[in-house]
Amino acid sequence: MELMSNDRPKNWRPGRMTTDPARLVALDVLEQVRHGAYANIALPQTLRKAGISGRGRGFATNLTYGTLRMQGKWDAIIARCVAGRDFEDIDPLVLDILRLGAHQLLDMKVPLHAAMNETVNMARNEAGSGASGFVNAVMHRISERTPDDWDDLLAEELEGDGQKAVLGALTSHPTWIIDRLEDSLVASGRPAADLGDVLAANNDPALVALAPRDISSEEIAAQASEWRMPNRPGDIVAGAVVLERGNPGRLPAVRDHGAGVQDEGSQLVALIAAYAPLKGSDKAWLDLCAGPGGKAASLAREAMPRGAQLFANEQHGHRLDLVAQAVEPYEDIVVLREGDGRELGELEPNRFDRVLVDVPCSGLGSLRRRPEARWMKRDEDAENMSRVQLELLTAAIASARPGGIIVYSTCSPDLRETREIVEKATGVEVLDAVEIARSVAVPGSLDTVQGPYLQLWPDEHDTDGMFAAVFRKLDAIDAINASDAEATSDEMEHEEQPVESDETADHLPQPGEKAEAAEELAISGEEPDPVADEAADEGPGAANAGSEESDRAEEEGAGEASEAPAVGDLGDERSGPVA
C-alpha cells in the first residue's frame, strides 16, 4: 500500500483549508467594486488571472453578480443576525464574506454544509481566526430560517415603514429608485401595481441578444447552434438572435464583427430611426452620440442598401475607436467624427435627413445588467444629466433639415430624463413612436404600449428600459405657427428657434476619415466602456459557459448597458452552482 506524502503546500498550516478559487474570485471582485471598480470590468480580469474555467467560472459569475444585485436584502438579513453589534461596525471585508455566504444559503442551490464550511473557511483565511468565529455565528443564524421565512420576517418588521420599504428590502432596490420607476409606470399608462413585477425583472439575469451586421440572422443562429448555444428569434425584433445559454464571445461572427451583442430594445430604437416616415431626401443620417457603436452599426446596416451615408459622432476618442470596430463592415459609407455632439447644431445646421441622439443617462433602465449600479447611483444623477440631455436634443434638432426626423432615446425610464426633456423640444412635431415601432417590430409584441412615446420594460418586453421619442422638424413658417398656437393656448412657453439657411459648410470629413473637434468638453456622469475580454480559442462542440450579457456590456451612451463592442469570457448566471 502506497503511503501518503508528507509534503505540504507552501504556507500550509494545520487545520487550515484553502479557499475555493471561484469563491475567492467573487470576494476579490466585491472588494474591487467597493473601491470603485465596475463588476463587468473587474470580473473577467479576475477570472483570467485566476485561470478559472468551466463550471467554476459559471459559479463565480453567479455568485458575484447575484450577491451584488441582492446586496440590500442580504444586508437587511445580516443586520438581524449580528447579536447586538451595530451593522455599521462590521469590517467591510467580513461583510462581503457574509454577503457571499447569505447568497449561497438563500438564493443558490448550494448544500448547507458547503455554504457554511466554505464561508467560514474563507473568513479564516482572508480575515483571520477571530473573524471566522463571528462569521460562523452569523451564518448559523441566517441558516435557521428558510428564504420564505426571511421574506415574511422582513415584511412584518418593515410594514410600519410602508409598502415601498418592504418592496425595497425584498427586491433589493433603494427606495428612491422604486419611486422613480413607479412614476414612470404611471406616466406610461401602466398601473402602479405592476411595480413589483418590474423590480423582480431587474433581478433576473438578462439573456444575450445578437444583432446581425454583415451576415444574416439565420447564419448567426446556425453558428450558435453549431457551438452548442441554444437560441431563438427575438421577441420584439425579428432579426435578433437571442442566446439562451453560451458565451457569445466565442462565436466567430461576433469576434469578426459580423454580429454584435445588442439588447433588443437598442436594436428597436435604431430601426425606429431608420424607418420613421420621411418625405424628401433620405441620404444623410447622423448618430450624434455614437459610442460604443451598436446603434451606429444597426443604422449603417439599414443605410447601405438605401444609398444613405451615416455620420457617427462621438466625444471621446477611445469610444470612437469602438464605433470604428462596430461599423467596420460598412466603413465605406460611415463618416467618423470625434467631438462634442452639442457643437453640431451650429457646425452643421439643417443638414441631416435623420438624426439619432441616444443621450448619456443615469442607466436606470439597465439595472439587470449592472448589478452594482443600484448601489452606486444617486437620485441626483438624473438631475445632473438633464442639462446635457436637453442640449444634445437641441443640437440634434438644429442639425436636422426641415422635415427631417429626430429620434431621442435613452436607457432610463426616469421621467426627468425622458418626458421632461422631450416636452421642452421646440420647432418640431411629435410623431407617435409606438406606431412607428409597431411597424418594424414583431407583430403583437408592443400591443400594450401607449404612445406617443415608447417606453419598454424588462418585465413586459424582456429588454432594457429603453425610451424613445420621435420628432419631425418643422420649417420656419410651421415653427412660427406652432409657437403662436402654443402661446395662445397657454399650454407651454417656448422660445422660437430660427431655422438656419440650407447652405451649410462641409464641417464633417469624408468616409474613412476621422476628424477631431477643436476642444473636448467633458460630459459628467459617463461610465467607462466595457473592457474587451479575450474569447477562449475553442472550436465547435467545446463546452461553453455563457456570460451575463457579455460581461455586463455597456449600452451606447453613457450609463447604459445593452450592447458591447467586445464580450467577456464569463460564466453563465444560469449555470448550476457547484458545492
Weakest mean pLDDT among 18-32, 72-86, 239-253, 525-539: 525-539
pLDDT over 60 at 529, yes or no? no
* Residue 516 reports pLDDT greater than 70: no
The whole-number pLDDT of residue 16 equals: 61
Asked if residue 175 lies in contact with residue 165, where contact means CB atoms within 8 angstroms, the answer is yes
Please indicate whether residue 579 or residue 359 has the higher confidence score (pLDDT). 359
pLDDT > 80? residue 570: no
Of 496 and 55, the structure prediction assigns the larger pLDDT to: 55
In the numeric block, which cell numbers belong to residue 267?
Answer: 436594436
pLDDT bucket at 485, cuts 50 / 70 / 90 = low
pLDDT score of 484: 59
Q: What is the pLDDT of residue 532?
A: 32
Q: What is the pLDDT of residue 109?
A: 86
pLDDT digits (tens, 9 = 90+) for 396-412: 999 999 999 999 999 99
- β-pair partners for 336: 312, 514
Reply yes or no on whether the pLDDT at 496 is more than 90: no
Q: CA-CA distance, 166 to 151, in Å (whole number)?
A: 9
Q: How far apart are CA 324 and CA 337, in angstroms?
A: 10
Instruction: Among 139-153, 351-365, 366-380, 534-548, name the one with the lowest average pLDDT.
Output: 534-548
Are 205 and 575 in contact by the 8 Å Cβ rule? The answer is no
Distance CA 40, CA 371 (A): 9
Q: Which three cell numbers stand for residue 437?
A: 415601432
> What is the predicted pLDDT for the residue at 53?
85
475 — phi, psi (to 5°)? -80, 180
The predicted structure's pLDDT at residue 440: 98
pLDDT band at residue 280, thresholds of 50, 70 and 90? very high
Residue 313: which H helix or E strand, with range? strand 309-314
pLDDT of 578 reads: 30
What pLDDT is attached to residue 550? Answer: 37
Higher model confidence: residue 477 or residue 239?
239
- Give the whole-angstrom CA distance, residue 4 versus residue 23: 28
- Please indicate whether residue 411 is annotated as part of the active site: yes
Q: How confident is the model at residue 554 (pLDDT cuts 50, 70, 90)?
A: very low
Phi (first) and psi of residue 297, to 5 degrees = -65, -40
**pLDDT confidence of 75, banded at 50, 70, 90?**
very high
Residues 74-86, mean pLDDT to the nearest whole number = 93
Residue 518 in this model has a pLDDT that exceeds 90: no
481 band by pLDDT with thresholds 50, 70 and 90: low
- Does the pLDDT value for residue 542 go beyond 80? no
User: 308 Cβ partners below 8 Å, 6+ apart?
Assistant: 282, 283, 284, 285, 333, 353, 354
Measured between alpha carbons, how far is residue 538 from residues 52, 81, 228, 250, 411 in Å? 15, 46, 12, 7, 34
pLDDT band at 479 (very low <50, low <70, confident <90, very high): low
Give dist(CA 436, CA 419) in Å, integer: 18
Side chain identity, residue 258: G
Q: What is the side-by-side order of every strand in the sheet holding 259-262?
A: 231-233, 241-243, 208-212, 259-262, 563-564
Q: Which of these, 461, 555, 138, 469, lies nearest to 273 by C-alpha position?
A: 469
3-state secondary structure 79-103: HCCCCCCCHHHCCHHHHHHHHHHHH
pLDDT on residue 7? 46
Q: What gap in Å lies between CA 546 and CA 44, rounded to an integer?
A: 12
Q: Give mean pLDDT, residues 221-244.
A: 97
DSSP codes joined into one string, 519-573: -----TTPPPPPPP-PPP---TTS--PPPSHHHHPPBTTTTB-SEESS------T
> What pLDDT does 17 receive?
80
Q: How confident is the model over 125-142, as a mean pLDDT?
A: 95
Task: Name the least confident of 318-332, 362-376, 497-511.
Answer: 497-511
Peptide bond just before 233 cis, omega within 30 deg: no
HEC sequence for 21-63: HHHHHHHHHHHHHHCCCCHHHHHHHHHHHHCCCHHHHHHHHHH
Q: What is the pTM of this model?
A: 0.82
The per-residue pLDDT for 344 is: 96
C-alpha 250/C-alpha 540 separation (Å) is 9
Question: Maximum CA pair distance of the chain?
Answer: 101
Q: What is the DSSP letter of 350?
A: T
pLDDT at 93 over 60: yes
Residue 263 has pLDDT above 80, yes or no: yes
pLDDT > 90? residue 507: no
pLDDT of 133 higher than 50: yes
Q: Are 106 and 142 in contact (CB under 8 A)?
A: yes
| Per-residue pLDDT reduced to its tens digit, 169-208 | 999 999 999 999 999 999 999 999 999 999 999 999 999 9
Q: Which pLDDT score, from 0 to 100, does residue 84 have?
A: 81
Helix (H, G, I), strand (E, B) or coil at 329: helix
Q: What digits encode the pLDDT tens for the residues 24-65?
A: 999 999 999 999 999 989 999 999 999 998 899 999 999 999
Share of the chain above pLDDT 70, in %: 79
**Average pLDDT score over residue span 363-385:** 93
Q: In terms of pLDDT, which residue wins out, 9 or 166?
A: 166
Q: 159 falls in which pLDDT band (50, 70, 90)?
A: very high
